[in-house]
Homo-oligomer: A and B are copies of this chain.
């Protein structure tokens, strides 16, 4: 049972042909006689011959494999993203090597190293939060491995980045709150190091300005996005003398944590304090006490674009040359149960 899979050589020997003839016959090369072709194909069939992809890849100096590194597959945003990437990869006859950084910078760089050593043909990356060292970019560049960032992207302009433009959603959120009569609107933001945090903040300020509401720095909170910190921040928020009546959360996860605190403090969700968050969990529609609305960032669309561009690069097709591609986010109102 431990018989090695048949090879071209094997077939050639049995048929007293050369491997090249066999190779060509199998791919219907016009210069091979019909009879020979048939004989070869017949035996190949019998032996269950299958070309050894690894050998072919090796010869062609390609791996037909891309690496995808994401913070966390358990976030629906990323599981949606990987599905989109997988589909595109399948179309292109590529396989996907997966890596989860778990938002740990060290883990992330280990994964990237492995991918580089495996000489994947390209990489799609959504960086771990709090990543501070981007040396891997140069390292990959030296190895001629193209990389495309999406969603969580580094704050530098020499790389290709696909992002969601958070401002439209943020502005809509504030408009919505204002039209509901809120004027004490807080923001629970993420780490300053994230581009995504900066953009949320900008959108927040612009949205308030547009509605002639002065920015109150006391209403701007920063969490490291851990459950504890989300809760800590929310407790602070609630304790404010002039408590905000509306809160925009960095993400749906933050909303979950903060709403929990609100409830524990006896506040009624979307009555005593209203919530809008980012990400648009698919699960919201199933549960009560959800935010009024959630801002969709179109994970699938971002990821697909990232994959499209990566394969353009890999196949050295013409690309638009754009380095930063941004899709507008969009506020989605959630039905109240």
CB within 8 Å for A80 and B74 given contacts A53-B117, A58-B58: yes
- Which range contains the number of A residues in contact with the other chain? 35 or more
Whether the Cβ atoms of B86 and A79 lie closer than 8 Å is: no
Q: Closest approach, in angstroms, between the C-beta of A298 and any C-beta of chain B?
A: 16
Which of A28-36, A255-263, A302-310, A324-332 faces chain B? A255-263
- Chain A 109-147 near chain B by CB (<8 Å), digits 1 or 0: 010001101110000000000000000000000111000
A45-101 CB contacts (< 8 Å) to partner B? 48, 50, 52-55, 57-58, 63, 65, 72-74, 76, 79-80, 82-83, 86, 90, 95-100
Partner of A54, one of B63, B80, B114, B263: B63
Taken together as a complex, chains A and B put the C-alpha atoms of A114 and B144 apart, in Å, by 26
A214 interfacial contact with B, CB 8 Å: no
Q: Closest approach, in angstroms, between the C-beta of A314 and any C-beta of chain B?
A: 14
Q: Which 8 A-B pairs have the closest CB atoms?
A: A74-B79, A73-B79, A98-B98, A256-B286, A58-B58, A287-B287, A95-B97, A73-B73
Interface residues in chain A, defined as those with a beta carbon under 8 Å from any beta carbon in chain B:
1-2, 5, 48, 50, 52-55, 57-58, 63, 65, 72-74, 76, 79-80, 82-83, 86, 90, 95-100, 102, 110, 114-115, 117-119, 142-144, 256-257, 259-260, 263, 282-283, 286-289, 337
